[in-house]
Amino acid sequence: MGGFSSKSVRNVAIIGHSGEGKTTLCECMLFNAKAIDRMGKISDGNTVMDYESEEINRNISISLGIANLVWKDTKINLLDAPGFYDFEGEMISALSVADSAIIVMSASGIVSVGGQKAISYCSLNKIPMLIFINGIDKENSSYFDTLKVLQETYPNKIAPLQIPLMEGQKMTGYINMLSGECNKFSQVGLEKIDIPADYKTRYDEQKAKLTETAAENDEKLLEKFFDGQAFSAEELGDGVKKRHIHLKRHCRTCRKRNT
């Protein structure tokens, strides 16, 4: 791995309630970035983040795990924090140096206590966050019920970047909310298809929420939003990025004042 300037390094905390799949998500990211050549499993005790004997025996994270990957010329340090309350200090330690956080939440149709605490801590400290809804293929799980309860719990703050296409409990593709493209999994990769008719209403509703979120920190986009004009995929992406940059600047300012 070559040298990286500070501008090309990001610290990302992976946080949330215990058992929601944080360590497995890290394993997937490391594998997709080719930082590892095979994916380990919690049940097999061979994941990168959980390597201590007590973690392997108990199938839980006990201490903060750290690993890194390179993605699009950026070095990303993953900080995998335990979810149990007994180890809350590990999460706070990770967030004290994090540029942003990924809050992992199962598609159970509820907002877990650990998820609420993670969201509250990030909101209080102005840390940009992304919610990753996990386990959508499990029995009795529902991505849309979970999204609904999140949007009801945190009004005008939650907007999806992707919507999964489901056939029963199986994910068969996804809709990219920024570009409006719909992709279906196939044997040769991704196949572009039209948005299914039964997803059109959901797409329109969530696109409106995403558009409003993107416009909040850009005067030109806000003016365009009030004029009822549609945003391009690039404008949506820029608006979302500016919202995170705005939060990150506040976060760093708060940290400087507290030191």
- How would residue 244 be classed by pLDDT, with cut points 50, 70 and 90? low
pLDDT of 152 over the 80 cut:
yes
Which of 123, 131, 138 shows the shortest CA–CA distance to 169? 138
CA distance 183 to 223: 31
Residue 56, C-beta contacts closer than 8 angstroms, at least 6 positions apart: 45, 50
Indicate where the chain has its CATH 3.40.50.300 domain(s): 1-158, 160-259
Mean pLDDT of the chain, nearest integer? 88
Answer whether 153's CB lies under 8 Å from 111's CB: yes
Average the pLDDT over each of 53-57, 68-72, 137-141, 202-206 and give the range with the smallest value: 53-57
Q: How many CB atoms lie within 10 A of CB 79?
A: 26
- How would residue 4 be classed by pLDDT, with cut points 50, 70 and 90? confident
- How would residue 156 be classed by pLDDT, with cut points 50, 70 and 90? confident
Answer whether 223's CB lies under 8 Å from 235's CB: no
Mean pLDDT along residues 145-150: 95
Mean pLDDT along residues 118-146: 92
pLDDT of 243 over the 70 cut:
no
Q: Are strands 162-167 and 100-106 parallel, antiparallel or unpaired?
A: unpaired
Tell if the pTM clears 0.75, that is, is over it. Answer: yes
- The 10s digit of each residue's pLDDT in 218-233 is 888 888 888 888 888 8
Which of 199, 140, 146, 210 shows the shortest CA–CA distance to 174? 199
Answer whether 133's CB lies under 8 Å from 146's CB: yes
Q: Quote the CATH superfamily of domain 160-259.
A: P-loop containing nucleotide triphosphate hydrolases (3.40.50.300)
Report, in angstroms and rounded to the nearest whole number, the Rg of the chain calculated over CA atoms. Answer: 19
pLDDT of 45 over the 90 cut:
no
CA distance 190 to 184: 6
pLDDT at 56: 75
Mean pLDDT along residues 76-86: 88
Average the pLDDT over each of 21-30, 51-60, 141-150, 197-206 and give the range with the smallest value: 51-60
pLDDT of 259 over the 50 cut:
no
pLDDT of 28 over the 50 cut:
yes
Mean pLDDT along residues 45-59: 81
Options 2.60.120.430, 3.40.50.300, 3.30.420.40, 3.40.30.10; CATH of 1-158: 3.40.50.300
- The 10s digit of each residue's pLDDT in 170-212 is 999 999 999 999 999 998 889 999 999 999 999 999 999 999 8
- How would residue 257 be classed by pLDDT, with cut points 50, 70 and 90? very low
- How would residue 258 be classed by pLDDT, with cut points 50, 70 and 90? very low
pLDDT of 216 over the 70 cut:
yes
CA distance 129 to 248: 10
